[in-house]
Amino acid sequence: MPLDRDVETLRNIPLFNGLPTPRLKLIAYTAEVVRFEPGEVIVQQGDLADAVYIIMEGEAGVWVEGADGRSMQVNTMGPHTLFGEIAVLSRGRRTTTVRAQGSVVTFKIAAKVFLDLVRHSPEISMQVMTVLAERLERTTALLQKAQRG
Amino acid sequence: METNLYRYIVRRSLRPQLLLIAISFVLGLGLNPLMLDLSKRIINSAVRKGNLEALVWLCAMFLGTVLANGALKYVKQNLEGYISETMLRNLRSELYHRILRFPLPHFRNTSTGQLVAMILGEVEDLGSFFGEALSTPAFHGAMLVGTILFMLVNNPWMALMGVALFPVQIWLVRKLQRKVSQLSRERVRMVRGLSDQIQESVGGIQEIHANDTVAFESRGFTGQLRRIFQVRFRIYNLKYLIKWINNLLEKLGQFLLLFVGGWFIITRPESFDVGGLVAFLQAYAQLNEPWRELVNYFQQKENARVKYEQVIANFDPPGLRPEFSLDERLPEPIPELAGAYELRQTSVILDGTTRALDQLQLSTPPSQHVAVVGASGSGKSTLILVLAKLCGYTGNATLDGMELAQLPNAVAGRQIAYVGREARIFTGTVFDNLIYGLRHRPPGPSGDGEGGDDDLWLNPTPLGVSDRAGLISHVLEAARLVGLDDDLYALGLRATVDPGRQPETAERLLAARRLVMARFAGEGGEAAVEFFDRGRFAEYASIGENILFGHSTARSLVPEQLAGYGHFRRVIEEVGLREPLLTLGTEIAREMVEIFKDIPADHELFAEFSLITASELPEYVRLVSRLERTGPGELPPEDQDRLVALSLRLVPARHRLGRIDEDTEFRAKVVAARQRFAETLPPEVAATFVPYDRERYFADGTVLENMLFGKVLATSSLAVKKVNAIVDQVITTHGLRELVMEAGLDYHVGLAGSRLSPAQRQRVALARALIKRPQILLLDEAVSVLEPDRRAELHQRVTTTLKGRTVIAVVDRVDLARYYDRIVVLDAGKVADVGTYQELAAREGLFRHLAVQAGVSL
């Protein structure tokens, strides 16, 4: 069944690691499949965040727009990457632009559903905190390194 | 409220209670001795003298008395029921009104669940007691007295003999009963201890095995069980001892009566007779029931009293707001508030100790815009609550020279608007929430105090609006002001419009469809939409919609009812679709049960995503467990229908459920069923059925679907963008935006607004405050969940719109205060500084300090 396949995919995503199968099924079931054409913008820097995405097929580039208006690609994301959760959690705006490189199939989880999942599922809340804390630690380490060097 | 249960009962139901007592006296003191006397006479003057005529007459009288007795008892019971139910209703209503009068800080340490339990559950037991409170002691007391009187009149010595043992009985039984109650309490306590130990053992099972303490733990457990056994067995002993004593004393009484009565009859036949003895024995037997009932009653009374006092204590917090009248009419003429506040030595103490406001001094001129800033805990929110007349205070606080506490609620509620940081949204539509501030009894006699039509409780006249159209444009204007228009527009596209009720709207949307079609043809937009096409399976429509492919006013002809509809059953059988639908339904049921069985029933995910509703879930859980053992074909017909019904809800492109992904044969069968269904419709419904038609509006589709005559290919981002762009353009250029927004007003916000985002909820709350056109607007960080740039915009818009009226706002960031005439800086419940934005920004002080702390530049 297609849902079972999706559940296996979700299992590979660190945020959902260790979730019981019914929870994963719930996420897969509530997620919408959205396809993007080559070059299409998936999220636009500065837009309000309305959803979290998971790349199922294809690759997407992460771009940051500088103050001078020039864009610079800072990263490439492959299948099974989850993105857009920061802006959703902070109820803020997108901090980067993500653009499809080639055809991309995503899972789109509406912000409200994602927040709901975080709020009502202690496992997900813990995972979100762990992932965010790790990221913070990494950024702090980078900053310290930059300061020293 | 009366603190004493009996005072409450007497005050609230004196008249029916008096009637009840009167009936009880007639029964106990009148009819009861009469019946005893008649049975004595039947034996003495009829049977023993062989007088047939007297026998017939006396028996007829006896029968009449029995009937009268029964009839009166029936009346009495109904009257008791009436008193119980009326008083229960009044008590609940009174308690609910008390909740509405609670001082706001009291809600911080009150659990809603507890209030609900008390009003719904605990009060229930009191209800039945209300009816019996006076009538039971009156009735059974009268029975007792009446019977004893009868005995005294007939033979005082024997009567004394009959009741001689009562005091002994009372004393003994009460003593034993007390012991039983005490043991029962002990039993409850011990059982709790037992449950604690079970929990401990389960939680600590690893430790128990790791330390090999199984024997130790079991010893403890069996020890507790033994003690519980001892207590329980003693209760058992005592209960039967009481029963034995009661029985013994009763029989002893009978023995005395028989012995003494017999003695009298044999030795002094002139003073006593057989009839008298029989009636005496009958009377004696009758003494027992009222006696038992009275003992019972005194126990119940004790329970009811404790319960009543507990409930009442919970509904009588200190600082209860003054009683309000539901009929409060506006004073004439309505004083127009100017908004000059004058606070002198105003203090508010929360939770008994915290001084939220500490002898605060503040005066604000009328029609001014004032921002309030301060660190958290400085008393900002409390100040706004006091100004809104939502929080009690000590000292003086006047508005336009009138003490706030004296200001009529009718005036405050209409002319002062308050928006707090937590937007409170009620279950209902967006429109219901927006016009909540206008829910007042309109002038005139319409609308009563209880229930009634909500629409009657809407009074837009103070706004200068007379009809619904005017009200809606007023509402939409406020929605635009707070930035809710885009949300309403998006909701409106997903809403449905009933062409029966709004033919004009439907006609205009239909005209828009043609324009959209023309644009599609020109711009290659057709690839973005799946148009309704009789010959093709629609991937973005549900299976049910696919088969019905049209709509009807007949109730059986909606996708939700289809599975149980005879004609539909025949059609799917004929085209060979029954088996595939059953299989599909089975698969969906399994998945849904697995996904949703642990989701709380009131959860938004349920309503928004599940193909089975929360109330259907148990039914499907049962079905799925049955399907473990049998095939779907062997289920009873109604269960098969359930599975088919479920399969009809599936939208193949949306729900990745079931193995129909590449199944072209299944799709062909669905299309065949669609055609056959429409062609062979029974004549009685055929006339009501309209297949999807490019030239007609269809009521069950959303506004967007109607404009497209199909469904967007939602899985393609490009398609969605293209369709949105074209539809937006057509709507904007043809002035349909208002229409769509109006449809969006009917969007149901879910339980307490759960289907709205926090930002949408705040916007709705703000619009609600503006819609009633308040003279005074009080805001407490009312836009705090919006994005920072939007917050500034809103403060600016609100202050511009309310020029000439009073606005007092707690702003969550000091730089937002720039839109206000004056700024009040609070610190520890006192005013620390007052001035204009420029003044405060220029001088060293708390205002600048707050800005630095928040990291904002002034």
- Which of B592, B595, B596, B604 is most worth mutating to test chain A (most A CB atoms within 10 A of its CB)? B595
At CB < 8 A and 24+ separation, what contacts does B252-259 make? B252/B165, B253/B161, B253/B162, B253/B164, B253/B165, B253/B284, B254/B281, B254/B284, B256/B161, B256/B162, B256/B164, B257/B158, B257/B161, B257/B162, B257/B281, B257/B284
Q: B608: closest CA among A5, A85, A117, A76?
A: A117
Q: Could you say which of A33, A37, A93 has the minimum Cβ distance to residue B787?
A: A93
Q: Is the dihedral of CA B454, B457, B461, B462 positive or negative?
A: negative
**In chain A, what residues touch B596 (CB-CB under 8 Å)?**
26
Q: Could you say which of A25, A37, A116 has the minimum Cβ distance to residue B605?
A: A116
Q: Which residues contact B651 (CB under 8 A, 6 or more apart)?
A: B539, B540, B541, B542, B543
Return the bridge partners of B833, or none.
Answer: B825
Return the bridge partners of B827, or none.
Answer: B830
Rounded Cα–Cα distance for residues A61 and B796 (Å)? 39
Q: Which SS3 state, helix, strand or coil, does residue B531 take? A: strand
Q: A24: domain range?
A: 2-148
Query: Is the domain of B701 the same as that of B818?
Result: no
- Is B494 within 8 Å of chain A by CB? no
Residue B332 resides in a domain:
no
Do the chains contact at A92 and B787, CB–CB below 8 Å? Answer: yes
Structure tokens that stand for B73 in this block: 């008892």
Q: Nearest CA of chain A to the CA of B669: how many Å?
A: 21
Domain with A109 in it: what CATH number?
2.60.120.10
Residue B452 resides in a domain:
no
Query: Is the domain of B361 the same as that of B391?
Result: yes
- Is B567 within 8 Å of chain A by CB? no
Mean pLDDT of chain B: 87
Rounded Cα–Cα distance for residues B90 and B69 (Å)? 31
The DSSP code for B320 is P
B 640-669: CB under 8 A from A: 654-659, 661
Q: What is the dihedral of CA B258, B264, B269, B275, to 10 degrees?
A: -30
Query: Is the domain of B166 the same as that of B140?
Result: no
Q: B368: domain range?
A: 341-424+774-854
Residue B668 resides in a domain:
yes
Taking CA atoms, what residue in A is nearest to B785?
A91
CB atoms within 10 A of CB B552: 19
What is the structure's pLDDT at B453? 62
Taking CA atoms, what residue in B is nearest to A33?
B715
Rounded Cα–Cα distance for residues A58 and A38 (Å)? 10
Q: Which residues contact B319 (CB under 8 A, 6 or more apart)?
A: B103, B105, B106, B392
Q: Which residues contact B766 (CB under 8 A, 6 or more apart)?
A: B419, B423, B482, B779, B782, B783, B794, B798
Residue B658 resides in a domain:
yes
Q: B809: closest CA among B769, B779, B775?
A: B779
* Number of independent structural domains in chain A: 1
Q: Which residues contact B442 (CB under 8 A, 6 or more apart)?
A: B456, B457, B458, B459, B461
Do the chains contact at A25 and B758, CB–CB below 8 Å? Answer: no
Q: Which amino acid is at B853?
A: Q
Do the chains contact at B656 and A33, CB–CB below 8 Å? Answer: yes
Query: Is the domain of B114 the same as that of B197?
Result: no
What is the structure's pLDDT at B447? 45
Domain boundary among B271, B304, B332: B271
Q: Is the dihedral of CA B209, B213, B215, B221 positive or negative?
A: negative
Do the chains contact at B597 and A22, CB–CB below 8 Å? Answer: yes
Taking CA atoms, what residue in B is nearest to A100?
B717
Residue A85 near residue A33 (C-beta atoms within 8 A):
no
Do the chains contact at B717 and A120, CB–CB below 8 Å? Answer: no
Do the chains contact at B605 and A26, CB–CB below 8 Å? Answer: yes
Residue B645 resides in a domain:
yes
Query: Is the domain of B715 the same as that of B669?
Result: yes
**Strand B529-531 relative to strand B416-419: parallel, antiparallel, unpaired?**
unpaired
Do the chains contact at A30 and B598, CB–CB below 8 Å? Answer: no
Taking CA atoms, what residue in B is nearest to A42?
B717
Do the chains contact at B656 and A35, CB–CB below 8 Å? Answer: no
| pLDDT tens per residue across span B298-355 | 777 877 888 888 888 888 888 787 777 666 566 666 778 889 999 999 999 887 788 8
**What's the maximum distance between 2 C-alpha atoms anywhere in chain B?**
126
Q: B250: closest CA among B276, B285, B283?
A: B285
B 45-64: CB under 8 A from A: none
Q: Is the dihedral of CA B671, B672, B673, B676 positive or negative?
A: positive
Residue B338, φ and ψ in degrees, nearest 5: -100, -30
Q: How many CA atoms lie within 13 A of B545 on its CB side?
A: 21
- Is B603 within 8 Å of chain A by CB? yes
Domain with B376 in it: what CATH number?
3.40.50.300
Q: Which residues contact A43 (CB under 8 A, 6 or more apart)?
A: A49, A53, A83, A84, A94, A96, A97, A98
Helical packing angle, B156-163 and B274-314, nearest 10°: 40
Q: Nearest CA of chain A to the CA of B609: how many Å?
A: 7
**In chain B, what residues touch A37 (CB-CB under 8 Å)?**
717-718
Give the residue ranges of DSSP H helices in B106-210. Answer: 112-116, 123-154, 156-163, 166-203, 205-210
Output the pTM of the full model.
Answer: 0.74
Query: Is the domain of B141 the same as that of B173?
Result: no
Rounded Cα–Cα distance for residues A118 and B44 (Å)? 89
| pLDDT tens per residue across span B209-236 | 989 998 998 998 999 899 999 999 998 8
**Strand B369-374 relative to strand B822-827: parallel, antiparallel, unpaired?**
parallel
Q: How many residues does chain A have?
A: 149
Q: Nearest CA of chain B to the CA of A72: how many Å?
A: 24
Q: Could you say which of A3, A37, A113 has the minimum Cβ distance to residue B657?
A: A3
* Number of independent structural domains in chain B: 4
**In chain A, what residues touch B591 (CB-CB under 8 Å)?**
1, 3, 25, 29
Residue B756 near residue B484 (C-beta atoms within 8 A):
no
CB atoms within 10 A of CB B741: 26
Residue B285 resides in a domain:
no
Residue B473, φ and ψ in degrees, nearest 5: -70, -30
Rounded Cα–Cα distance for residues B332 and B302 (Å)? 50
Q: Nearest CA of chain A to the CA of B126: how many Å?
A: 38
Rounded Cα–Cα distance for residues B808 and B824 (Å)? 10
Query: Is the domain of B585 the same as that of B704?
Result: yes
Q: Which SS3 state, helix, strand or coil, does residue A63 take? A: strand
| Mean pLDDT of the region A93-119 | 89
Q: Which helix (H) or strand (E) holds B216?
A: helix B214-267
Rounded Cα–Cα distance for residues B34 and B146 (Å)? 9
Q: Nearest CA of chain A to the CA of B78: how many Å?
A: 50
Residue B34 resides in a domain:
yes
Rounded Cα–Cα distance for residues B434 and B458 (Å)? 12
Q: How many CA atoms lie within 13 A of B360 on its CB side?
A: 37
Q: Could you say which of B609, B717, B718 has the minimum Cβ distance to residue A30?
A: B609
**In chain A, what residues touch B494 (CB-CB under 8 Å)?**
none
Rounded Cα–Cα distance for residues B779 and B502 (Å)? 37
**In chain A, what residues touch B763 (CB-CB under 8 Å)?**
none
Q: Which of A87-101, A128-142, B481-495 has the highest mean pLDDT?
A: B481-495
Q: Which amino acid is at B696?
A: R
Q: Could you say which of B599, B655, B785 has the minimum Cβ distance to residue A91?
A: B785
**Sole residue written with tokens 């005294």:** B152
Residue B373 near residue B826 (C-beta atoms within 8 A):
yes
Residue B147 near residue B283 (C-beta atoms within 8 A):
yes
Q: Which SS3 state, helix, strand or coil, does residue B834 take? A: strand
What is the structure's pLDDT at B450? 52
- Is B716 within 8 Å of chain A by CB? yes
Domain with B76 in it: what CATH number?
1.20.1560.10
Q: Could you say which of B604, B659, B717 has the minimum Cβ distance to residue A40?
A: B717
Do the chains contact at B595 and A48, CB–CB below 8 Å? Answer: no
Residue B427 near residue B818 (C-beta atoms within 8 A):
no
Do the chains contact at A2 and B599, CB–CB below 8 Å? Answer: no
Q: Give the residue ranges of chain B where pLDDT is below 70.
A: 325-333, 442-454
Do the chains contact at B609 and A28, CB–CB below 8 Å? Answer: no
Q: Is the dihedral of CA B542, B547, B550, B556 positive or negative?
A: negative
**Strand B341-350 relative to strand B394-399: parallel, antiparallel, unpaired?**
antiparallel
Which residue would you say has higher pLDDT here, B31 or A1? B31
Helical packing angle, B274-314 and B214-267, nearest 10°: 140
Q: Could you say which of B599, B717, B785 has the minimum Cβ distance to residue A36?
A: B717
Structure tokens that stand for B828 in this block: 């520890």
Q: Nearest CA of chain B to the CA of A35: how many Å?
A: 5
Do the chains contact at A2 and B716, CB–CB below 8 Å? Answer: no
Residue B487 resides in a domain:
no
Do the chains contact at A25 and B599, CB–CB below 8 Å? Answer: no
**Strand A82-83 relative to strand B689-691: parallel, antiparallel, unpaired?**
unpaired
What number is the ipTM of this complex? Answer: 0.85
